[in-house]
Amino acid sequence: MPTETWLIFILIFMILGSITALELKDILSSIISIGIVGLGVSVAFLFMQAPDLAIVQFLFEIFAMIILLRAFLKKDYHQESTSRLNWLLSGVTIIVLIAIFLFSISVFNALPPFGQPLLTTAEHYIAHGAAETGAANLVASVILDYRAYDTLGEITVLFTAILGSLTILRIQSQRKKEGSESS
Amino acid sequence: MTVYLLCFLLFLVGFYGVLTKRDLVKIILSLTIMGYAVNLFLILFAYRDQALFPILKEGVNMEAMVDPLPQALVLTSIVIELGTTALLVTIALKLFQKYKTFDITKIRRLSG
Amino acid sequence: MNEQQGMTLIVKTITRIILWMIFLYGIYIILHGHLTPGGGFGGGVIIALGFLSIMLAYGRSGVDEWLNIKFLHDLETSSVLLFLIVGILGIALGGAFLANFINHGSLFHLLSAGTIPVLNILIGIKVALSLFLVVIVLAHMHIGEGGQS
């Protein structure tokens, strides 16, 4: 089978999984469905010749599932009451989103067809990347040599996110630290 | 073409969740779905037929390789997404600690 | 309270045996980042999962016994600083910020590609420790909540 057929199959699977995750009442089932969607992304990356991304996405999925389960599983989970207004609201939203989808078909028609990308900047990376940087993995050469600024920005974002979550919990951490020092 | 449309449909499913769900956990999950769709679209856009992954092997002459640039961008994007998901989970837990609920309409009502 | 003590003895023993293999695999992935798929991001997440397995098996008290959280936080922050120092050395020795100033060496060898392996190691440390610290923070939040309610 060609790659496109496999991708269509995986994407339909992922859409069904995400609808299931959003509509289920039980939080454990929702998080597991999200895990299925993420593993589908990982398999799709493998089909599209991106093993680096497949590894990172797989590990990301495991990590995110552990974080979400640890954080949300033991909370007593209040189910939202479905009122008539809520049904109306979601109906209107679905109609608007379907309209957006129909309008977007012409936009996607204007893109180059699947399997034949433009490849303007990347021609240089593919042709001269190994000679200029000395790395056999061209993705690593793009990340850490040609576009190391991006990686610096990524590190900054990660650093800020971690500092933000540490700041939110600062009071509790201090209380914990005092408790452990006195004991 | 069909693949692009399906990928956009996945994005719209996540968008629907962000707009209509009133539960903070469901909103975080919807944001994750949107992130998946965007990452997947970048890689779909860079795929070239009959091409191999952009890693050289000793003694093998590679003819066609896929574009390494979107792969590098998506690689950073995935890790950033993990950091932001962790931050969102922390904020949601803090809100739960204060209001004892994940329902965003009730949270708004209590804050006045 | 039972959760704080961690899991059963079987899980603890197997975690202690298998932990070093997980770390070794992560370090392998990071060091070979410029030759094979993987690199700092993937290897970093693997090492973070190794730390996470300590926390899941031994509980929070086990983490406090095994690891110095403050030192890990300092190490994480200093890896960002070292990244910047490598970038500024690029200005001094290579002419541009984050320039590849070390000798490239020959292709397909472990010691090649100039600054790429160095930056890979720094990114691996950064990703591993920051993701682990998030989980530690979430675990501490759990305690605070129990105290309040």
Domain that holds residue B44: 2-111
The CA distance from B58 to the nearest CA of chain C, in Å, is: 7
Mean pLDDT confidence for C29-46: 85
Residue ranges covered by each domain of chain A: 1-75, 118-183
With CA atoms as reference, report the closest residue to A64 among C49, B22, C69, B18. Answer: C49
Average pLDDT of chain B to the nearest whole number: 82
CATH number at residue B60: 1.10.287.3510
8 A C-beta contact, residue C47 and residue A148: no
Task: Kindly tell me if the per-residue pLDDT of A21 is higher than 60.
Answer: yes
Chains with at least 3 CB pairs less than 8 angstroms from chain A: B, C
pLDDT in tens, C89-145: 888 887 777 777 777 777 777 777 778 888 888 888 888 888 888 888 777 765 545
**C48 close to C131: Cβ distance less than 8 angstroms:** yes
**Cα separation, A122 vs A142, whole angstroms:** 10
The DSSP output letter for A73 is T
**pLDDT digits over C56-82, tens only?**
888 777 777 777 878 888 888 888 888
Residue C148 has pLDDT above 50, yes or no: no
| Residue C30: domain span | 2-148
Cross-chain CB nearest to A122 (options B3, B68, B82): B68
User: Into how many domains does chain B fold?
Assistant: 1
Q: Does any CB of chain B come closer than 8 Å to the CB of residue A136?
A: yes
Burial of C104 by CB count in 10 Å (0-12 exposed, 13-18 middle, 19+ buried)?
middle
Nearest to B33 among A37, A115, A117 (CB): A37
Task: State how far the Cα of C52 lies from the Cα of C54, in Å rounded to an integer.
Answer: 5
Percent of chain A whose pLDDT exceeds 90: 6
Residues of C in contact with A134 (CB under 8 A): 100, 104-107, 112-114, 116
Chain C's closest residue to A129, CA to CA, is C113
**Nearest-Cα residue of chain B relative to residue C128:** B79
Number of domains in chain C: 1
Chain A CA closest to residue C134: A162
- Residue in this structure with the two tokens 């860079």, named with its chain if needed: B46
d(CA A113, CA B16): 27
CB-side neighbour CA atoms (13 Å) of B8? 19
| Model pLDDT, residue A109 | 86
Least CB–CB distance from C42: residue in A55, A148, A165: A55
Mutate to test the interface with A, among C64, C79, C130 (most CBs of A within 10 A): C130
> Residue C63 burial by CB count (10 A; 0-12/13-18/19+): exposed, middle or buried?
buried
Contact status, residue A56 vs residue B79, Cβ threshold 8 Å = yes
Interface contact B56-C127, CB threshold 8 A = no
Q: Taking CB atoms and an 8 Å cutoff, what residues of chain B touch C127?
A: 79
Burial class (CB in 10 A: 0-12, 13-18, 19+), B18: middle
B50-86 residue pLDDT tens:
777 777 777 777 777 788 888 888 888 888 888 888 8
- Residue showing tokens 């469901």: B26
Nearest partner of C35 among C141, C131, C125, C107, judged by Cα: C107
From chain A, the residues in CB contact with B99 under 8 A are: none
Residue among B5, B14, B67 minimizing CB distance to A119:
B67
Q: Is the pLDDT of residue A181 over 80?
A: no
Q: CA of A61: which chain B residue's CA is closest?
A: B82
Six-digit token pair at A126?
A: 């593919």
Using a CB-CB distance cutoff of 8 angstroms, which residues of chain C are in contact with residue A135? Answer: 34-35, 112-113, 116
Enter the ipTM.
0.85
The pLDDT of residue C25 is above 50 = yes
Using alpha carbons, select from C8, C39, C9, C37 the residue that is nearest to residue C26.
C39
Higher pLDDT, A127 or A61: A61
Identify the residue with better confidence: A45 or A119: A45
Structure tokens at B51: 């091409």
Q: Average pLDDT, stretch A100-111?
A: 87
pLDDT in tens, B13-61: 999 988 888 888 888 999 999 999 999 988 888 888 777 777 777 777 7
Contacts of A8 in chain B (CB under 8 A): 2-3, 6
A67 vs C134: CB contact, 8 Å cut-off? Answer: yes
- pLDDT at A183 exceeding the cut of 50: no
Cα distance between residue B56 and residue A51, in whole Å: 13
Lowest pLDDT segment from A28-32, A49-53, A129-133, B80-84: A129-133
User: Which chain B residues are within 8 Å of A137, Cβ to Cβ?
Assistant: 54-56
